[in-house]
Amino acid sequence: APVVGALSGALQMRRPFVETLINLRPSNADEAYALVSNLPVDKSHRVSLVYEDDPEGEAVLTAMKDYQRSVGNRVYTSGAFEPGAFDPAAAADAIFAGEKIPETVVLYSRSAADLAALMKEVENRLGPEGYEAMEFATFSDADAEELHHSLAALSVSVKPGQLILSQVVPDP
């Protein structure tokens, strides 16, 4: 019997192909590719990635690097963390490892609270002016309600257009 409505972005749900499995969301790699394809494509746009150090996080990193390379750009800085052990200070250190501040920070994490904590850390380090010049993006498996509550609990300010929650529908 077919399984309809799988919400996992895991590659294991796609490879090898199972014709009786209908996913309602894309793979994390496909979502990463779609997310970065909607960012500015000029070569000077700096995109940093912080991701869970697991096969899915590696797939996200590879997809982002592949897309960036295809438009003549690259992932500016990146950092990995053990699943379930997110450290916003270490993540910010990875983001700011380059000579310049990135314009976009992409976080691949299964916890929306991690994004709120990272945004607060960046806001504390850069101050309001530097922080407001950045945009932050995360994936569709981030719980929007959890993110809302986490941002409010940490008193993180978010201006319109500063936060991207990817919502990508897979090809049938």
User: Per residue in 115-145, pLDDT tens?
Assistant: 999 999 999 999 999 999 999 999 877 888 9
Question: Mind spelling out the 3-state secondary structure of the chain?
Answer: CCEEEECCCCHHHCCCCCCCEEECCCCHHHHHHHHHHCCCCCCCCCEEEEEECCHHHHHHHHHHHHHHHHCCCCEEEEEEECCCCCCHHHHHHHHCCCCCCCCEEEEECCCHHHHHHHHHHHHHHHHHHHHHCCEEEECCCCCHHHHHHHHHHCCCCCCCCCEEECCCCCCC
Mean pLDDT for the stretch of residues 18-32 = 72
The pLDDT-based confidence of 154 (bands split at 50, 70, 90) is very high
Predicted TM-score of the model (pTM):
0.84
What local confidence, expressed as pLDDT, does residue 78 receive? 94
What local confidence, expressed as pLDDT, does residue 168 receive? 66
Q: Does residue 149 have a pLDDT over 90?
A: yes
